[in-house]
């Protein structure tokens, strides 16, 4: 395989793009349900249904973006232009999503549907091309894993920034709880400005290198047919959805777990900062994600991507189940398990993105034409379907177990919240293990595919 010309600066530039996306994605995953129920003022069951409808619709918008970006041809390349032109709309809609209008309950529900749907569509318009960029920055599978690791490290750094600052910013702008709606809106503006700047850095610092073997544009019908006949794609799609359901339910339930079940001091001193237990739990999880990512490249280089995924998610399954049996006073064990689970769960995401790039190569090797955007859009689709199902399940389960916002919870509601941080997400984790065990692209097969494609490109 040829050596990569991807510089450290370019890897950092690529990573900054996911730092931008992840700030809002993490706020959506961990705080949006809470924002809607406890600040915005609509019921959990209504939010759960909205999440499902909105996100499933948007999931099917992702392949449209992938198809369009595959057929984009500009002086900046296929995928980079989207980073330039969609960054500002992304920031604006991020702010509107966390803004509470002075409407009736029905008006608020309509507003939430409109703003959140548009936000997710704009997220697709920038994130699908951003993800696809990985597939054309280098043809070397190991370099792609490195790029993917940089991406995920910066993604989790962006998440840590959001989680560490969101509650202090909301308190600061909202006059220490007197006006939480104002606090959330102004805090969102801070993150929006940062996100726009980071997206522009990614546009400026990256380069597209890998060109398709064939310059003839393939009919859309043929691209879709090839995708549906791609066995590794189906397997990775299912495993990705299952893994994201695991993360989504755990993330969404955490704020409720610590507000309504765990018994602990209101704040903890962590590295000189006073943090709520929820914030400490989430920030530790993001830090542990980064640790997992640091280990994933050397481990996957030694035992392969498939085996690394299997081991990580199987351990996460067992540890998640253990969470159910923790005493409500045992905060230290809660935090320890969060660190261990997050190390395992965090390690799979660079693997997923790298494996999608491998699937794009496999598809080109098998069919003779390349549809990077379409294949990567499926990864974004699986991400959103996983979060959709996880977010909807979180809202529905809260309603099913009798949750009522801002009041003392019944034993049934507390038990339900505990299940949502343990057994229920563990089902998703175990399903991802089962599915990925059938993934056929071994390291030897990838070596064959990559070598064959390089020889064909040199021969043209």
CA 342/CA 290 separation, integer angstroms: 9
Average pLDDT over the chain, rounded to whole? 89
Confidence of residue 267 (pLDDT cuts 50, 70, 90): low
Among 372, 379, 382, 363, residue whose Cα is nearest residue 69? 372
- The arithmetic mean of pLDDT across residues 101-107, rounded, is 93
Cα–Cα distance for residue pair 183/167, rounded to 1 Å: 9
Q: pLDDT at position 222, please?
A: 87
pLDDT band at 251 (very low <50, low <70, confident <90, very high): confident
| Percentage, residues of the chain above pLDDT 90 | 54
DSSP, res 25: H
294-328: string of b/e by CB count within 10 Å (b at 16+)?
Answer: eebbebbeeebbbbbbbebbbbbbebbbebeebee
Domain of residue 419 covers 8-207+219-459
Handedness of CA 224, 230, 233, 234 (dihedral sign): positive
Supply the pLDDT for residue 22.
92
Question: Which one is predicted more confidently, 229 or 5?
Answer: 229
pLDDT recorded at residue 100: 95
Q: Is 217 helix (H, G, I), strand (E, B) or coil?
A: coil
Rounded to 10 degrees, what is the CA torsion of 339, 340, 342, 344? 160
Of the candidate ranges 55-64, 104-113, 189-198, the one whose mean pLDDT is the lowest: 55-64
Q: How many structural domains comprise the chain?
A: 1
Q: Which of 82-91, 170-179, 208-217, 236-245 has the lowest mean pLDDT?
A: 208-217
**Worst-scoring range by mean pLDDT, 165-179, 350-364, 378-392, 394-408?**
378-392
> Is 441 within the bounds of a domain?
yes
Distance CA 89, CA 95 (A): 10
Q: Does residue 213 form part of some domain?
A: no
Q: Assess if residue 356 is contained within a domain.
A: yes
For residue 214, being part of any structural domain is answered with no
Name the least confident of 117-126, 161-170, 381-390.
Answer: 381-390
Q: Distance between the two ends of the chain, CA-based, in angstroms? A: 17
Q: What percent of the chain has pLDDT over 70?
A: 96
Residue 225, pLDDT above cutoff 60? yes
Contact 328, 437 (CB under 8 A): no
1 falls within a domain: no
Q: In the prediction, which pLDDT does 273 show?
A: 63
Determine phi and psi for 330, rounding to 5 degrees: -85, 70
In this prediction, residue 216 carries a pLDDT of 65
Ranking 19-23, 241-245, 436-440 by mean pLDDT, the lowest is 241-245
Backbone angles phi, psi at 216, to 5 degrees: -80, 130
Q: How far apart are CA 27 and CA 226, in angstroms?
A: 36
Say yes or no to pLDDT of 2 above 50: no
CB 46 within 8 A of CB 109: yes
The residue-averaged pLDDT of 111-128 equals 94
Residue 3 lies in a domain: no
- 47 located within any domain: yes
Residue 460's pLDDT is what?
53
The pLDDT of residue 393 is above 70:
yes
Where would I find the beta strands (DSSP E) of 187-319?
267-270, 273-276
Residue 268 pLDDT > 70, yes or no? no
Which of 12-26, 91-105, 238-252, 413-427 shows the lowest per-residue confidence on average (mean pLDDT)?
Answer: 238-252
Tell me what the mean pLDDT of segment 261-279 comes to.
73
- Higher pLDDT: 312 or 268? It is 312
Give the residue from 79, 70, 82 showing the smallest Cα distance to 216: 70
Q: For residue 106, give the H/E element and its range.
A: helix 105-137
Select from 331, 317, 307 the least CA-distant residue to 426: 317
Identify which has the larger pLDDT, 140 or 449: 449
**285-299, 302-316, 355-369, 376-390: the lowest-pLDDT one:** 376-390
Whether the pLDDT of residue 271 is over 70: the answer is no
Residues 6 or more apart whose Cβ sits within 8 Å of residue 284: 335, 338, 339, 342
Q: What is the CATH classification number for the domain harbouring 224?
A: 1.20.1250.20
What pLDDT sits at residue 286?
Answer: 82
- Is residue 2 situated within a structural domain? no
Q: Mean of the pLDDT values across residues 387-416?
A: 87
Contact by Cβ (8 Å): 380, 127: yes
């Amino acid at each position: 395989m040829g050596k990569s010309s991807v510089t450290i600066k370019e890897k950092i530039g690529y990573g900054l793009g996911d730092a931008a996306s992840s700030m809002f994605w993490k706020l959506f995953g961990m705080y949006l349900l809470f924002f809607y129920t406890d600040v915005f003022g609509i019921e959990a069951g209504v939010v759960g249904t909205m999440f499902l409808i909105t996100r499933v619709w948007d999931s099917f918008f992702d392949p449209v973006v992938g198809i369009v970006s595959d057929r984009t041809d500009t002086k900046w390349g296929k995928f980079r232009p989207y980073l330039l032109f969609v960054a500002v709309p992304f920031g604006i809609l991020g702010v509107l999503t966390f803004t509470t209008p002075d409407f009736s309950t029905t008006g608020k529900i309509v507003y939430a549907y409109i703003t959140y749907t548009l936000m997710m569509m704009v997220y697709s318009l920038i994130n699908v091309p951003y993800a696809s960029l990985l597939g054309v920055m280098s043809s070397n599978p190991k370099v792609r894993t490195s790029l993917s690791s940089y991406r995920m490290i910066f993604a989790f750094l962006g998440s840590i920034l959001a989680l560490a600052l969101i509650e202090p910013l909301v308190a600061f702008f909202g006059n220490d709880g007197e006006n939480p709606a104002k606090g959330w809106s102004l805090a969102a503006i801070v993150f929006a400005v940062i996100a726009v700047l980071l997206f522009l850095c990614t546009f400026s610092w990256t380069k597209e290198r890998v060109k398709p073997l064939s310059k003839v544009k393939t009919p859309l019908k043929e691209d879709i047919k090839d995708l549906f006949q791609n066995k590794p794609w189906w397997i990775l799609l299912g495993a990705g959805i299952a893994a994201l359901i695991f993360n989504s339910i755990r993330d969404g339930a955490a704020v409720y777990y610590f507000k309504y079940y765990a018994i602990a001091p209101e704040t903890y001193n962590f590295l000189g900062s006073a943090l709520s237990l929820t914030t400490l739990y989430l920030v530790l999880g993001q830090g542990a994600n980064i640790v997992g990512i640091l280990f994933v490249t050397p481990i996957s280089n030694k035992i392969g991507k498939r085996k690394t995924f299997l081991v990580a998610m199987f351990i996460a399954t067992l540890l998640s189940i253990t969470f159910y049996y923790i005493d409500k006073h045992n905060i230290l064990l809660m935090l320890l398990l969060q660190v261990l689970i997050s190390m395992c769960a965090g390690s799979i995401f660079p693997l997923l993105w790298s494996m999608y790039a491998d699937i794009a190569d496999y598809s080109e090797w098998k069919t003779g034409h390349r549809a990077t955007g379409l294949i990567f859009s499926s990864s974004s689709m699986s991400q959103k379907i996983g979060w959709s199902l996880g977010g909807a399940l979180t809202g529905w389960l809260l309603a099913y177990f009798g949750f009522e916002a801002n009041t003392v919870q019944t034993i049934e509601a507390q038990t339900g919240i505990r299940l949502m941080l343990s057994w229920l997400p563990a089902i998703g984790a175990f399903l991802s293990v089962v599915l990925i065990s059938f993934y056929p692209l071994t390291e030897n097969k990838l070596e064959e595919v990559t070598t064959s494609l390089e020889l064909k490109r040199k021969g043209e």
